[in-house]
Structures are given as C-alpha cells and as structure tokens.
Structure 1
C-alpha cells in the first residue's frame, strides 16, 4: 500500500511515498535490520508507529531495543519498548523517525513482538519545465475560479433573514396552544 504526499517549496519540489512496513521479532529470529539498497538515490526514512505483542506472547517482559550501527561510536543499544501482556501489550510511538540502516533486537522475552510503521521515500515530483507548466496552470485556475464565485450581498440577505424570522415568529404565536391536546379551561 502506497500513499503519496506532495509538497511544494520555492526551491524544490518533492513527492513523499509512504509504504506500510512491519516486522516480527521472536526468540528464533530476535533481530531485524531495516535497510535500503545503496543504489537508491532518494532520501529514505522509517517512521516507527507501534510495537505490540502477538496473540501467542507469554506474560513475561519483552524488551525491544535498537542496536547502534556497526560503524558508529555509540556502543550502547537504545531500549524503545518494554512490554508485558498483562500490563502493557502495545506502545504507540509517534514521531519516532529513523534513518536506515536500523537494527531492532528482542533482548528478552520469547515474542512474538510486532513492529509497524511507514517506509518513507522522498522523490523529485517533476523537473523544471513541468514545474513552470504547473504554476501557469494554477494561475489560470485561480483566475477562472474568482470569476465564477459570486459573493452574496450581506445587507440584503440579513434583511431577508430578519423578515423571514419575523413572519415565522408571528405564525408561531398565532398557533400557540393549538395542537397540544389541551382542553380549554372551564368557567365556574
């Protein structure tokens, strides 16, 4: 599934393609590395959205962490979730955007633990000649839409609305009491 989002800047024009991404960590396969081929020239990013336990997970602590890249000076892994079925079976992590390669590891627990998010790719939407055509088309569209939009005169419409509500109020006061099922008061 792919979603596209267009952004228009004065200096550049990009289109973002978002693909649904997910992986499973278990005791048998405790690590997963999200990476993209070296020949991909576009900017890549992984937006992690949820970390949750599977239906067959045991009620034990499941610790999920991100391992530092092999060429990094950082040596300590970063814990991103500590889940337990009876306490916290899922974590939503908005705003957790990672640049590949990223390695996830199930440090403790037997799983299954599911990670889900979006694989984002920023690509050039069009070249310079198409950009000029697009901008001139937008200007023409704006001019034609201005001509077709007619703004009603506020003074006339508000007077008409007042007259209409005044007539409705008179009709309502004339029919007041009618149709309610009340009997007229008897004279004694």
Structure 2
C-alpha cells in the first residue's frame, strides 16, 4: 500500500536551500519514493519588481535547472506538476529574497514489483497463433490519391 504525505518548504533570502532526501534501500518501501511538486508560490512579503528564481538540482541525473521564475505584480504562482522519482533533490533560491513556498506530495510505495512479463508473453504467443489460424489475415484495400488521378486526367486532355 502506498503512503502519501504533504510536502511543503519555504525558501527565503538569497541562496536559501532546502534538500529532499530519498530513502534508499528502505525495506518498508521497496518500490521507492516520488516527490511531486504541485505548486510554487511567491509570498505576499516579496519585494515589487524583484525576480525570484527557484533552481532544482537532482542528484541522480546531476541536473541543475530553474523551475520557477516569480515576480510580484506579474507571476505569483506556478503549477509545474514536476515529479522526482528515487533521487534526492535540492531546491535553491538563486535570485531574489522570497519568500517562495514549494508545495507538493511525497509518495512512498511499498508494493513489490513482480515480473510477470515472461509468463504473459508465453500466453500471448499461444493465443496469437490460435487467432491466426482461426481468422485469415484481411486484405488491404488499394487507395488512390484523388489529386494524382485528377492530374493524370488533366494531363491526358492537354
């Protein structure tokens, strides 16, 4: 059964950072964790005409990229719907003083993965062979391009 919890952090002040650590090799959650960022908000206290840029760094992919640019009076909220699966993530306010609120969900899945692919492919192969014998393949109809047919007729008239 999956466990779901609210995730919320505040970034305020230049170079403010917050890290979300994934629990690796957790016996209770063998399928791992996922962080889903649903909303990034700029606080009411943010200075007018100041850009606030939130950058994310993922450990697994060594990816460092801005995910939000907020400005009081223009953009106060974003709904990025970004997912981070089985990787630690660091959020950093690289420009502006905030406050910037990051809201989302932390999902932990404890259902083990069972590889049923081998069993399914054997059954599907047998079923497909029986279907082929019972139903002969349908013939494809030949379709002419109307514009080519008209062009041919017009060329013959000339």
Q: Could you say whether these structures have the same fold, taking a TM-score greater than 0.5 normalized by the shorter chain as the test?
A: yes
Q: Distance in 2 between matches of 1:106 and 1:21?
A: 17
1:62 is aligned to 2:48: no
Q: Distance in 1 between matches of 2:34 and 2:58?
A: 16
Shift in Å at residue 28 of structure 1? 6.2
| Structure 1 ranges of 4+ moved more than 6 A | none
> Alignment partner for residue 109 of structure 2, among 108, 122, 132?
122
Question: TM-score of the superposition, structure 1-length normalised?
Answer: 0.52
With CA pairs under 8 Å and 6+ residues apart, which has the higher RCO, 1 or 2?
2
> Alignment partner for residue 83 of structure 1, among 65, 70, 76?
70
1:31 is aligned to 2:12: no
| Larger Rg over CA atoms | 1
1:53 is aligned to 2:42: yes
State the number of aligned residues. 107
Shift in Å at residue 54 of structure 1? 1.1
Structure 1, gaps ≥5 residues long: 1-14, 126-188
Paired residue secondary structure (1:56): coil
Q: Distance in 1 between matches of 2:11 and 2:73?
A: 19
- The aligned residue for residue 40 of structure 1 is 26
> Alignment partner for residue 93 of structure 2, among 106, 121, 125?
106
Q: Distance in 1 between matches of 2:111 and 2:64?
A: 35
Q: Distance in 2 between matches of 1:29 and 1:78?
A: 15
Shift in Å at residue 37 of structure 1? 3.6
Question: TM-score of the superposition, structure 2-length normalised?
Answer: 0.61
Shift in Å at residue 22 of structure 1? 0.6
- The aligned residue for residue 149 of structure 2 is none
Paired residue secondary structure (1:93): coil
